[in-house]
Amino acid sequence: MTFTNMVLIGVALFAIVGAIGAFTVAFRRSRADAPAPDPTAGVSEETRRSDRSMEGVRVEPLPEPEPVSEPQPAEVEVEVEAEPSQELAPAGGSVQVIERQRVIEVTPEESGVTRRQFFNRALSGTFFAFLGLVGINSLAFMWPKLSGGFGTDVDAGTVADIQNQTVAADGSIVPVFVPEARAYVVPSPVVPESMEGDGVEAAGLMALFQRCVHLGCRVPWCATSQGFECPCHGSKYSSIGEYFAGPAPRNLDRFVVEVQSDRFIIKTGTVIQTPRSQLLSVSYPRGPSCIGG
């Protein structure tokens, strides 16, 4: 993993941690901003009814509770003056009946979440879930491909197989195209001086990038001339990709290659560019051109 990739991954992780922190702060603020709890919450409906229907209700507050370390629900005793009872009253008189009811104040946690709090939390949760998905997708996009596909080390097959395929029975060259690497593997009887030390040759083979260095057309192989000829603007290259003719500014680009356990590996993560060859290292053209000119 390169230093750049590690930095990108670090930035993405930092963003995710920041989003989680922001969510936590917003969540705590929403709790702090919540309206004060209704002191009558938890009072039974029967009590409320009797409270509304009766006149002369007298509330005797209980003495202030002793401070305790843990917040305890406050209890208030309410004395409700009921209708004078005729049944219990002595003849010619009446008896005053007082019902004692206990009102317990509950904390916001005990009374549950208000509708406003619920919508705030749902909205915040949706937003941060969306943010998390975007972050994960970004991370997946930036995560380097470690194996397989263009940009990685591509296994083109065994060296023996490729060597056999690239030279026909009559001695002519038949490049092996490796789609995953977007490259032609060609025999390289010599390594041009300008390419020495770049690691572009292994086991007598080279891997040429299929893209024309002029404007990017795919360059096909021409069996009759034994070279690569671009149909777009007529650039021509030898069998090992040396510049021969046309507007191309340099030789065909190529990749670093190596042999690992008898397998030919094309390292497509690095493209090697070389200047136009002054003299061709291999014979070209060996027959009629495919595009004329």
Does residue 232 touch ligand FES according to CB under 6 A? yes
| H or E stretch at 257 | strand 254-260
Q: Does 246 bind ligand FES (CB under 6 A)?
A: yes
- Give the Cα separation of 213 and 175 in Å (integer): 19
Question: Residue 250, interface with ligand FES (CB under 6 A)?
Answer: no
Minimum CB–partner distance for residue 232 and ligand FES (Å): 4
Per CB under 6 A, 227 contacts ligand FES: no
> Total binding residues for ligand FES by CB under 6 A?
12
Task: Give the nearer residue to ligand FES in terms of CB position, either 6 or 215.
Answer: 215
Q: Which of 247, 249, 275, 287 binds ligand FES (CB under 6 A)?
A: 247
Residue 243 or 264: the one with the smaller Cβ distance to ligand FES is: 243
**Which residues contact residue 65 at a Cβ distance below 8 angstroms, ignoring those fewer than 6 apart?**
72, 74
Q: Are 254 and 209 in contact (CB under 8 A)?
A: yes
Answer yes or no whether residue 249 interacts with ligand FES by CB under 6 A: no
CB-based contacts of 278, cutoff 8 Å, min separation 6 = none
Per CB under 6 A, 281 contacts ligand FES: no
- Binding flag, residue 173, ligand FES (CB under 6 A): no
Question: Would you count residue 214 as binding ligand FES (CB under 6 A)?
Answer: yes
Distance CA(266)–CA(57), nearest Å, equals 92
Q: Which is nearer to ligand FES, 102 or 233 (CB)?
A: 233
Per DSSP, helices labelled H in 33-101 are 45-53
Under DSSP, the state recorded for 179 is G
Instruction: Spell out the residues 6+ positions from residue 144 whose beta carbon is closer than 8 angstroms to its own.
Output: 1, 2, 5
Residues within the interface to ligand FES (CB under 6 A) = 212, 214-215, 217, 230, 232-235, 246-248
